[in-house]
Structure 1
Amino acid sequence: MNTRRVHDLMRLHFPSIDHARREWMIVADSSQIEALIAEHVRSPEALVEVHRKLGALLPIGEAARFAVTHIGEGEIRIADRAFTGFVVVAQNGVATGWRTLDNLSLQRPALPPAEL
């Protein structure tokens, strides 16, 4: 998957983050990021975006190493292809992650019931 496609998917489906309400942890190496990805993304592959010109679809271990090598270059966003598990690595080297039960951003809004 090319970088442009990764950026388009992230722009469309990655939820906005209220940074102040998230719990953050310092990540010093790829094993800590890999543990966050395994806990929250729960997929063999992950979409990783550092910025709009740098991103890829990678296996979990490679995604963690890719993220560590680019800390400080941008807010790194990591998600599964279904956009139900998310990890964010901030420029200052702290990270957070979460899951959604279902991806509400991809679902169509419910139609109101027809009146008779």
Structure 2
Amino acid sequence: MSAWKINTLMNQHFPESDFSKLALVNIEGKPEVLEAILKLSINSEELLISVNRKVGARLSLKDAVNFIQFSMGKAEMRVSNREFTQFVIAAPNCTAVGLN
């Protein structure tokens, strides 16, 4: 699945969220914390990640943690399962939260 297709599907299915009401957790330099957030929020070994319409990927949990850690601070990243029923936001300020 191309980055453009992932981004298009995220735009269609990702829920709106009010950042002022979210309990964001610092994940900078803490891959184990990011992995825990992803595992708690998304019950899937394959994750879709969208950074923008040109950057996105379908990755395993372990690869997704590395991808998000590497891309942190550049843009808001949206993470979902393939069914678009479970979601995580990794914000540009190096924080993340699961949306339930």
User: TM-score normalised to the size of structure 2?
Assistant: 0.93
Secondary structure of the equivalent of 1:46?
A: strand
Structure 1: gaps (5+ residues): 100-116
What code does the residue aligned with 1:57 have? R
Where in structure 2 are there 5+ consecutive unaligned residues?
A: none
Report deviation, 1:98. Answer: 2.4
Q: CA RMSD in A?
A: 1.0
Contact kept? 1:50, 1:67, Cα under 8 Å: no
1:4 counterpart = 2:9: no
Cα distance, 1:30 vs. partner? 2.2
Task: Report the counterpart of residue 65 of structure 1 in structure 2.
Answer: 66
For CA contacts below 8 A with separation 6 or more, give which structure has more relative contact order: 2
Larger Cα-atom Rg: 1
8 A contact 1:46–1:79 mirrored in 2: yes
The corresponding residue for 1:39 is: 40
Q: CA deviation at 1:78?
A: 0.5
Describe how 1:1-116 pairs up with structure 2 within 5 A: 1-28=1-28, 29-99=30-100
Aligned residues: 99
Q: Among all aligned residue pairs of Structure 1 and Structure 2, give the percentage whose two residues are the same amino acid.
A: 32
Q: Secondary structure at the match of 2:47?
A: strand
1:33, distance to aligned residue in structure 2 (A): 1.2
